[in-house]
Amino acid sequence: MLCTGRLLESMLRHVVSLVGPTGRRRFAMLLLLSLAFVVFILGSYTINKESNNSPIIHQSIETMSLGSNQTPLSRELSSFYIESGSDVDIIHPPPSHHPCDSFSFPPPPPPGFRRPGPRPCPVCYLSPEEALAHMPKHPFESPVLKNLRYIHEESPVKREEEGQGGSEFGGYPSLEDRTNSFDIKESMTLHCGFVKGTKPGHQTGFDLDEEILPELDQFHDVIVASAIFGKYDIIQEPVNISEMARKNIPFYMFVDEETHSYLKNTSSYSDDNNKRVGLWRIIVVHNVPYTDARRNGKIPKLLLHRLFPNVRYSIWLDAKLQLVVDPYQILERFLWRTNSSIAMSRHYRRFDVFVEAEANKAARKYDNASIDYQVEFYKKEGLTPYTDAKLPITSDVPEGCTIIREHIPITNLFTCVWFNEVDRFTSRDQLSFAIARDKIREKVDWSINMFLDCERRNFVKQVYHRDVLMNMKPPRASSSSSRVLPEPLPLPRGKAVGGRANTGKKIPGQRGGKRRHRKVSAGGRNMR
């Protein structure tokens, strides 16, 4: 670069000496400007070339936020960094190389081949062994809230004037108590059911047998839970469960005394077999606090962390669902892979609370006046119809029949305040979900993984409620029990039935056995 400048300078002096005194100044000025431009261009090129050939020192590992706020995903990625003294030699972390990274939904079928109505969609799972290997070593970081305690009162007093003050089981929290429950601090105390008695399940209005209480205090990494109240459903046996999960994951089914009496008349249940039906450990609930069976079912659904204080992860299933995928695979797909602390599917059709409320009224799911009161209350608090402006929130209405979560303070707080809304207003938890979520999100950086409902239908099989099944097929007479027997298998061709030969030909006006409704057949098989 220096030699080039000197050569150009000598050439300039030689040319100037040849020019007369009149035009010497102008010519000299033009040449000097040209020289400066050429020197600038050559210098910039040389500097860039040298920069591209020199090594870059990157940021130190201390500036990469690998401290106490580190998430499970960032902990996993941090193992890819290679230290060189006190510096890191890689700008970006390498890809995670997850086996499902290349998975994508297949193209939709042609319009003429589409089956109407909701249906499952493909989901990429790891094997149960691989999924378990992805379980985070440390709990998910609970934002702000670190210590959550619950109110205990032996004689709760109703202080509400509006007539919507909840129940004795919930402790009658006032509107001021409700407001305080959303003021998130490092340590909080709030109403969360079970306000009476010495511990959940003991003299609280949701009482369990004494011998089961020590079992509920045991530590488990994962549990699966469900409930049937009022004989409303038929127990569905999980399938495709790995031996590892069968050995390490307990399955708990809460039932009231009415359902328990019904179970005793089935061949699949035995008190001598530690109160089990297949994988399900039956827990009988006495002295239920509500006359509404659906509202009683919300207690284990939303307050599972209170019944199992030493459990890390739980999967809740409504009793109308049959689990068909291993629990470890579900947890890896919807919690650990997405770095989430709670997950549930969004409603497959409705995303707006106000639309959901009208659908509930049309289907007579609850008293219309109570639904209107609840929606108007939320509207005054600022709840608005769902629009794309709420993104990245994808829906205000969950399909709440499954809840996958880690039991940490922030998710425990969420399900507590969600239960308090169910206790105060209607038992339709889809209506109170968004207000409980949004009030927490106003205070802390926290979100819920709301995945597609077709993905939920991939890991659970939905069957009809018991009363629907009973109306579909009248129960057969039986002298020994009131069980609904499955339909008999079709006879081979040529056998006599009532004096007539079965030729296998379809009788006019008669439907063939193979065309029976699938869910009816599935329900019959599960009644054995």
pLDDT, tens digit (0-9, with 9 covering 90-100), for 299-334: 999 999 999 999 999 999 999 999 999 999 999 999
- Determine which helix (DSSP H) or strand (DSSP E) holds 226, and give its type and residue range: strand 220-228
Asked if residue 312 lies in contact with residue 222, where contact means CB atoms within 8 angstroms, the answer is yes
Res 448 pLDDT > 50: yes
Residues 203-261 pLDDT 10s: 999 999 999 999 999 999 999 999 999 987 789 999 999 999 999 999 999 999 999 98
**The pLDDT of residue 483 is above 50:** no
CA-CA-CA-CA dihedral for 346, 347, 352, 355, to nearest 10: -170
State phi, psi for 228 to the nearest 5 degrees.
Answer: -135, 120
Burial class (CB within 10 angstroms; exposed 0-12, middle 13-18, buried 19+) of 466: buried
Q: How far apart are CA 159 and CA 413, in angstroms?
A: 23
Stated pTM of the model: 0.71
Residue 287, CA distances (Å) to 227, 295, 296 in order:
15, 14, 11
**Of 427 and 73, which is predicted with more confidence?**
427
What average pLDDT does the segment 91-112 reach?
Answer: 69
Whether 470 has a pLDDT exceeding 70, the answer reads no
Which range among 124-133, 268-277, 410-419 shows the weakest confidence by mean pLDDT?
Answer: 268-277
**How many angstroms separate the CA atoms of 528 and 524, rounded?**
7
Do 335 and 71 touch, CB atoms closer than 8 A?
no
How high is the pLDDT of residue 238? 97
CA quadruple 160, 163, 167, 171: dihedral, nearest 10: -10
pLDDT at 264 > cutoff 90: no
Q: Is the pLDDT assigned to residue 510 strictly greater than 50?
A: no
**For residue 47, what are its two tokens?**
């500097």
Mean local confidence (pLDDT), 170-199:
95
Crossing angle (nearest 10°) for helices 429-441 and 409-424: 140
Q: What is the largest CA-CA distance in the chain?
A: 135
